[in-house]
Amino acid sequence: RRHASRQKFAQDFSQCLYDFVIQLLPTTEELAVKEDVRKLLERLIRTIELDSRLLSFGSTANGFSLRNSDMDLCCLIDSEERLSATDLVNMLGDLLERETKFHVKPLPHARIPIVKLSLDPAPGLPFGIACDIGFENRLALENTRLLMCYAMIDPARVRTMVLFLKVWSKRRKINSPYKGTLSSYGYVLLVIYFLVHVKSPPVLPNLQQVPPLRPISKEDTHLNGHNIWFFDDIELLRQRWKSSNTESVAELLIDFFKYYSRDFNYSSGVASIRAGLLKKDSKGWVSEAEKGSPRERNRLCIEDPFETDFNVARCVTRDGLYTIRGEFMRASRILSSRPERAIVALAQLCE
Ligand code: CTP
Ligand code: MG
């Protein structure tokens, strides 16, 4: 009887998750407006740098986009002599201020110089647009492509899980690196890590470890000293790779919360989608608090897939991690109590 009731709950909850996520996807109209904005901005940037391209990355390009999410744009300049990012940010800021209706905020001295833009709500654009333009961030374009490939291998389960976690983490207010919690990018990596390395049998293959079809030279695989190769022939992969894991999206999500509330070793572990579970010690990512510094960098450790010396969760503070783990536990508790109706569980989760 208990098994049957668990099955029934998982089935209902999976359906609820699909229905919930679908209504949060961006409309085709929104996508079209955003593409128009990208083209307009690209045209303007070309008046400063003729050989430039403006590309989307982040959620607008990786298949994990929610309605009204921000646009992340990256400007690539193909010519040899180009202006510094700081000069470009200043010039582009001035130009956009003169030529467009955007609110413009250039941040030329940020760690990664960007121009922030926003557009007020208007008919057909009820939430306005927020957009960041950065320069030469080629690694971000590549990690966006990696996430997109993971999404395409098993869209029903992977996209549903990721989109749900993004909404959930925003509603529960644990999605802001500025306030000591984790970015969306960090949550996506936690999901992929779980599906590649924790679940057995795995739901996803490790795209960075699938052998290449033909030998490739080092120049083709490295960017700024980072190995950015991964298996990206998704059509072929879909023909050849079929996961023998048949768990439903609800079962996976329940297990995800359970794993991150009690099984993942936060004090010594590093989640790496490239290499599986690593040790903080072996990466030199010991907590700076332990070294007597008030700054906390390595409470939660998630290795970037390409920039392997970069901890994606470095902004997560002690309090932030405490709150995040508390939320994982809360979610786990709600789901294991299996309320009578799955929809009630979903509402409670995102309260
Ligand atoms: N990124 C990165 N390193 C980080 C954070 C982000 O390289 N530490 C890049 C990634 O390419 C990521 C993109 O910036 O895909 C956007 O990150 P983020 O805004 O966290 O994710 P989104 O999927 O865009 O989520 P949201 O819809 O919440 O904006
Ligand atoms: Mg974004």
Residue 289: inside a domain, yes or no?
A: yes
Q: Which residues line ligand 1 (CB under 6 A)?
A: 57-59, 62, 64, 66, 69-70, 72, 140, 143-144, 166, 183-185, 312
Which atom of ligand 1 is nearest the CA belonging to 304? Answer: 3
91 and 125 belong to one structural domain = yes
Confidence of residue 295 (pLDDT cuts 50, 70, 90): low
pLDDT for residue 197: 98
Residue 37: inside a domain, yes or no?
A: yes
64 and 106 belong to one structural domain = yes
168 and 315 belong to one structural domain = yes
pLDDT for residue 130: 95
- Is the model's pLDDT at 41 over the cut of 60? yes
Q: Give the model confidence (pLDDT) of 7-18 as tens digits.
A: 999 999 999 999
**55 or 49: which carries more pLDDT confidence?**
55
Q: Give the model confidence (pLDDT) of 314-349 as tens digits.
A: 999 999 999 999 999 999 999 998 777 899 999 999
Count the domains in the chain: 2
Pocket test for ligand 1, best of 116, 148, 182, 185 (most atoms within 8 A of CB): 185
Tell me the CATH number at 65. Answer: 3.30.460.10
Highest mean pLDDT among 137-146, 208-217, 286-295: 137-146
Of 269, 70, 88, 90, the closest CA to residue 184 belongs to 70
**Quick one: average pLDDT of 285-314?**
83
Nearest residue (by CA) to ligand 1, atom 6, is: 185
Q: Which domain holds residue 339?
A: 154-204+243-349
Ligand nearest to the CA of 66: 1
Show the CA angle centred on residue 335, arms to residues 329 and 339, nearest 5°. Answer: 135
**Contact at 8 Å (CB) between 304 and 186?**
no
Pocket test for ligand 1, best of 183, 191, 310, 315 (most atoms within 8 A of CB): 183
List, in sequence order, the alpha helices (H) in the chain: 2-22, 28-45, 59-62, 85-99, 138-153, 155-171, 184-193, 218-221, 234-240, 249-258, 280-283, 318-336, 342-349
pLDDT for residue 112: 85
Residue 212: inside a domain, yes or no?
A: no
Q: Are strands 71-77 and 129-135 parallel, antiparallel or unpaired?
A: parallel
**Quick one: average pLDDT of 244-272?**
97
For every residue of 240-296, DSSP letters joined together read H---S----HHHHHHHHHHIIIIIS-TTTEEEETTTEEEEHHHHT---TTTTT-S--
**Quick one: average pLDDT of 164-185?**
97
- ipTM at complex level: 0.98
Nearest residue (by CA) to ligand 1, atom 14, is: 58
Ligand nearest to the CA of 150: 1
pLDDT for residue 292: 54
pLDDT for residue 229: 96
Q: Which protein residues have their CB within 5 A of the ion that is ligand 2?
A: 58-59, 70, 72
318 and 185 belong to one structural domain = yes
> Which domain-ending residue is among 116, 140, 164?
140
Nearest residue (by CA) to ligand 1, atom 5, is: 185
**Quick one: average pLDDT of 281-309?**
83
Tell me the CATH number at 188. Answer: 1.10.1410.10
Nearest residue (by CA) to ligand 1, atom 23, is: 59
298 and 329 belong to one structural domain = yes
- Is the model's pLDDT at 294 over the cut of 90? no
